[in-house]
Structure 1
C-alpha cells in the first residue's frame, strides 16, 4: 500500500472513510479482496508471496493498513511487513497492547507505517521514529514517508477527499484514478532518481512492470456496518475486476 487518505470522525454516522491505492510489481501474485478461508471474519486482499496484506478489516470493526517507507539504503527486513496488519486483524490484542509488543520488534522489519483502528480510536505507528500516535479527529494522508509528509500526490488526494467527503463511491474512486504526475520541481528526493520519482509521483501509477494494483474504498459506519470496494489493475493500468463487500453491523 503506497497511498491513503482518510477521514477520522468519531461521533459521526460514518466515523471512518478511507481511500487507498496499493502499488506493487504486477508480477507479484495477489488475491483479490475477500473473506479469508483460513481466517473467517477477516476481509482483505492477500499477498500470495509472503501471505500478508496491505489493508483489511474484520467483523468486529477493526481496521489495519500498511505503507512501506521508501529508502533504497535500508537493509531488507527479517520479516514481511504485510504480516503486521494481518496479525492484528487475526488476533485479540488491543491496539495499545499490539503496538507495545510491536515496538520491541521494530528492528526485524524494513521501514513502514501502520494504521490500526477499532471503531473507538485510530492509531499510527512510524517504524523509523518508533513513536505510536493516537490520532485526533481530522483528515490525514499517508504515503511512503511519514503521516502527512507534503508529497504532491499526498496533498492532492487529501485535498480531493476534503472537497468530496459526502460524495458517492464513484466520485471518490475517481480521485484514486488520477494519473497526473507532479512537476519535476515538486518531486521529493528519496534516492531513487528523478525518472523513478516522476513515475511514482501520480496518485494512480501505471507502467509496464509496476503500478497501482488495487484501489480501495472503505466506509465504516457508527452502527457497525462496513462497505468495501476494490478495483484491480494490471500492466499499464488495465482494469482487471472489482469486488464489493457489505458487512452487517
Structure 2
C-alpha cells in the first residue's frame, strides 16, 4: 500500500510553487531496497531501487530531470494473476523515455495486461521558461483506463483513481491546508515540516467500505496515511517530497527508515537533492 498527494499551483497567482508532490511508500520492512539517489546509468534520473529478487531492480517512484517526468506505481490489491509479469520496470521505462504517457501505454499494453493490477501516476512538469502547466495523468490496467486530471489538489492510493479511499480525501484536505499557509519560498522549511506531518498522520479514516472490501483482514490498520503493522513487519518506511517552484528551483526530500528496521523505534535517513531544472537539460 502506498499513497501520493499532488498540488498543481501554476494557476494559483499567490503561490510561488508550480508543483508539490508528497508520497508514502508502504512495504515490508525486510524487503531489500536502495534509497533515493541519482542512477549510475543515467544521473538525470533520481529514484529508489527495489532489490527484491524477481523485480528487475525496478522502482516505485522516479523523476527524470531531462525528460521532466515523475512516475509512481501504486498496487491495486485483490486480484492475483497466474504467472504475472513483473511491474518493476513500469516507472523506470516511463521516465526514461521521451514519449507521452498515451504512447507509452500503447507500446506496453500487452505487457501491462499480463501484470497484476496497478495504477501508474504520471506527472509531466515541462519547461519553466514557457510556463508549462504540469500534466497529471493516471493509467490503470484493471480497467485499461488512462485519464488526465485537472484539479488543483489530487490524491491517489491503492484503489481505482476515480474511487479514492477515505484517507486520500482526508490527506488532500491536509495538503491544501499546508499549501495555503506556506505559499512562499521563504517559508519552505515550515512547508516541509507541514508536509511531513501530513505523511506521518496516524489518524484512522473510517468507515471506508472500499478498503474493507479490498483488504478485509487489515483494513483498520491501513486506514491511516502513515501505516504501521509491527507484527507483520510492514508499514510506511519512506516519505518523499518533491517541490518545484515557478522559477524552476526543484527539491527532492526523502526520509527512509534505516535497515535493519525497528518499527517501534526506527532510525531515519534523510537526503535532499536540489537544483534548477533549466540546468539539468543535457543527457549524461
TM value normalised by structure 1: 0.90
Say if 1:10 and 1:137, in contact at 8 Å, map to a contact too.
Answer: no
Q: Distance in 1 between matches of 2:214 and 2:25?
A: 21
Provide the residue aligned with 1:118 in structure 2.
124
User: Which of the two has higher C-alpha Rg?
Assistant: 2
**Which residue of 209, 213, 225 maps to 2:237?**
213
Provide the residue aligned with 1:62 in structure 2.
69
1:173 aligns with 2:187: no
Say if 2:29 and 2:234, in contact at 8 Å, map to a contact too.
Answer: yes
1:82 aligns with 2:88: yes
1:245 aligns with 2:268: no
Provide the residue aligned with 1:136 in structure 2.
150
Q: Distance in 2 between matches of 1:240 and 1:79?
A: 33
Q: Distance in 1 between matches of 2:125 and 2:156?
A: 19
Provide the residue aligned with 2:131 in structure 1.
none
Q: Distance in 1 between matches of 2:140 and 2:254?
A: 26
Deviation beyond 6 Å, 4+ runs, structure 1: none
- Alpha-carbon distance change, 112 to 77 in structure 1, aligned in 2, over 3 angstroms: farther
Provide the residue aligned with 2:176 in structure 1.
162
Q: Any unmatched runs of 5+ in structure 2?
A: 127-134, 183-190, 278-284
1:198 aligns with 2:225: no
Q: 1:63-95: per-residue Cα shift (whole Å, max 9, x none)?
A: 111101011x42256332231111112223232
Q: Distance in 2 between matches of 1:137 and 1:191?
A: 26
**Which residue of 76, 88, 105 maps to 1:99?**
105
Provide the residue aligned with 1:4 in structure 2.
4
Say if 1:95 and 1:117, in contact at 8 Å, map to a contact too.
Answer: no
Provide the residue aligned with 2:263 in structure 1.
236
Displacement of 1:7 in angstroms is: 1.3
Say if 2:102 and 2:146, in contact at 8 Å, map to a contact too.
Answer: no
Q: 1:163-183: per-residue Cα shift (whole Å, max 9, x none)?
A: 111431011111100112234
SS in 2 for 1:236: coil
Displacement of 1:243 in angstroms is: 0.9
Provide the residue aligned with 2:41 in structure 1.
38
Provide the residue aligned with 2:115 in structure 1.
109
Could you say what the CA RMSD is over the residues aligned between the two structures, in angstroms?
Answer: 2.0
Q: Distance in 2 between matches of 1:86 and 1:76?
A: 24
Q: Distance in 2 between matches of 1:135 and 1:10?
A: 14
Say if 2:69 and 2:95, in contact at 8 Å, map to a contact too.
Answer: yes
Q: Distance in 1 between matches of 2:40 and 2:164?
A: 39
Say if 1:220 and 1:226, in contact at 8 Å, map to a contact too.
Answer: yes
Matched residues, number: 246
Q: Distance in 1 between matches of 2:249 and 2:6?
A: 17
TM value normalised by structure 2: 0.79
SS in 1 for 2:213: coil
Q: Distance in 2 between matches of 1:96 and 1:10?
A: 23
